[in-house]
Amino acid sequence: MNYPIYLDYNATTPCAPEVLEEMLPWFSQHFGNAASKSHPYGWVAEEAVEKSREQIANLIGAKSKEIIFTSGATEAINLAIKGIFEIYQGENQHYITAQSEHKAVLDCFADLEKKGASVTYLPVSRDGELDLETLKSAILPDTKMIALMWANNETGIIHPINEISKIAEEKRIILFTDAVQAAGKIPISVSGIHLMAISAHKFYGPKGVGALYIRHNHLLPKPLGQISGGGHEKGFRSGTLNVPGIVGMGKAAELKMAELESEFSRLSLLRNQLEESLLQIEGTILNGSQENRLPHVTNIAFEGVEGEDLLRKVCQKVAVSSGSACTSISPKPSHVLQAMGLDPDLGRASIRFSLGRNTTEQEILDTVDWVKKVVLELRRH
C-alpha cells in the first residue's frame, strides 16, 4: 500500500525496530506465564517483567515497585479515578479536572457524577492554559482528587504540573496526571504526584500495554483494583501479564531516555519550520500558545474551508487528524478547541500535525506544499 506521509504521532507511534526485536523471543521461545512461580518458564518471564518495570520507573523518576501494568492508558485512567472513588465510598466526594482533558478522563468523571460525586471542570484560556488561582479557589473541604493532564494531546500545551503538585500537597489532595503525551517526549518526574497514567504506543512501544504509577509510602490512599481475579500486580490489576508487550514497553522507555534531548531539539526545529510555513497561508490561526508546549505538535485552524473536506483531502497525502484519535470519527468540533473558545466551524477546520522519530525535513517541505494546495483549492470552490 502506498501510505501517505505520517504526521499523526500523537495518535500512535510505530514500534521502534529495537523494541520489536526485544519482544519477539517472548512470543515463542520464552512463552512462560510470569505468575507461574514453580518452574523456570515462569521465573524467566517474571524476571523480564521486573526489568521492564525498572526501565519504565527510570523514565518517570519512580521506584519500580510503584509501576502497575495495565492494557493501556484508558485502563490506567479508569483504575486511578474509579479506584479512588470506591475507596471514599459513602463520603461526600468532590473532584477537580479541566474541560480540555482527554475523553478517557472526562468520561470517567461523567460516570462518577452519575454515582453521586460532584465535579468541577476548570476552564482554559484561549491559549489552552489553566489558571492556578481558579484551581485553588475550586478546592472544597471534600475535594478528593485533582486530575489534570501533563500535556494536551491536541494542542501540545504543557500544564505547570510542578506548581499544581505543590497546591495538591499543601491541601493533602490526591493528584492524578494523565502523562500519556508527555512521557518519553519531555523530562518528567513523579515528584509530588500520587497517580500517573502512561501508554507504550505513544513512545514507540507496542499497543495494548500501559502503566499506572501509584505512589508508595504516603498517607493518602491508593485506588481499589477494578478487575477481580488472581490478584496480580499487588491486587491492583488482576489478569495474566502481557509479557511481550511489557518487555517492549520497557525497551521503548530505555530508548526514549537515551534520545530525549536530541529528539526534542530536532523535532522542535522541524515543527517550527512546518508551523511558520503554514501560518503564511492567509486566514490561518495557531490554536494554543507558542510557549510551554511539546516540541513536536502544532494545531492550526484554516479559515474559509469545510472541516471534513479539508481533513479528507489533506489525508490523501499526509496522515493527520483533527483531534484525539479516540474521537476522530466524530464530525463534531474538538471539545478541547471548544473549551479554548474557538468558533465551532473553525474548530472543525483545524488540523493537528504531530511529528516523530521518522519525520524528515523533506516530508515537512512536501506537507507544506500539499496543504497549501488543498486549502487554496477548497477556498476556490
Is residue 103 over pLDDT 80? yes
**Residues paired with residue 157 on neighbouring β-strands, in sequence order:** 293
Is residue 363 over pLDDT 90? yes
Is residue 106 over pLDDT 90? yes
Q: What is the fold of 5-12+260-380?
A: Aspartate Aminotransferase, domain 1 (3.90.1150)
Distance between CA atoms of residues 231 and 235, nearest Å: 4
Question: Would you state the pLDDT for residue 326?
Answer: 54
Distance between CA atoms of residues 100 and 84, nearest Å: 21
| DSSP 8-state secondary structure symbol assigned to residue 125 | -
User: How sure is the predictor about 325, in pLDDT bands with cuts at 50, 70 and 90?
Assistant: low
Q: Do domains 5-12+260-380 and 17-254 have the same CATH topology?
A: no
Q: What is the CATH number of domain 17-254?
A: 3.40.640.10
Helix axes 40-60, 243-278, angle to 10 degrees: 30
Take residue 350 and report the three cell numbers written for it.
Answer: 483545524
Render 294-339 in DSSP notation, one character per residue: -TTEEEEEETTS-HHHHHHHHTTTEE-BSS-GGGTT--SPPHHHHH
Take residue 128 and report the three cell numbers written for it.
Answer: 489552552
Question: Would you state the pLDDT for residue 333?
Answer: 84
Stated pTM of the model: 0.96
pLDDT tens digits along 259-268:
999 999 999 9
CB 195 within 8 A of CB 212: yes
Mean pLDDT of 164-193: 97
Give the containing element (helix H, strand E) for 378: helix 361-380
Distance between CA atoms of residues 136 and 164, nearest Å: 9
CB 318 within 8 A of CB 354: no
Question: Would you state the pLDDT for residue 322?
Answer: 87
**CA torsion angle for 215, 220, 226, 229 (degrees, to 10)?**
70
pLDDT tens digits along 34-77:
999 999 999 999 999 999 999 999 999 999 999 999 999 999 99
- Residue ranges of domains in the chain: 5-12+260-380, 17-254
Mean pLDDT of 200-221: 97
Sign of the four-CA dihedral 247, 252, 253, 258: positive
Question: Would you state the pLDDT for residue 212?
Answer: 98
Distance between CA atoms of residues 321 and 252, nearest Å: 24
Question: Would you state the pLDDT for residue 332?
Answer: 77
**Residues paired with residue 8 on neighbouring β-strands, in sequence order:** 354
CB 255 within 8 A of CB 19: yes
Furthest CA-CA distance within the chain:
71
Distance between CA atoms of residues 130 and 339, nearest Å: 11
Q: Which residues are catalytic?
A: 326
Distance between CA atoms of residues 337 and 127, nearest Å: 10
Distance between CA atoms of residues 283 and 300, nearest Å: 10
Render 80-106 in DSSP notation, one character per residue: HHHHHHHHTTTS--EEEEETTS-HHHH
CB 64 within 8 A of CB 214: no
pLDDT tens digits along 243-298:
999 999 999 999 999 999 999 999 999 999 999 999 999 999 999 999 999 999 99
Question: Would you state the pLDDT for residue 381?
Answer: 78
**Residues paired with residue 214 on neighbouring β-strands, in sequence order:** 195
Question: Would you state the pLDDT for residue 1?
Answer: 81
CB 190 within 8 A of CB 61: yes
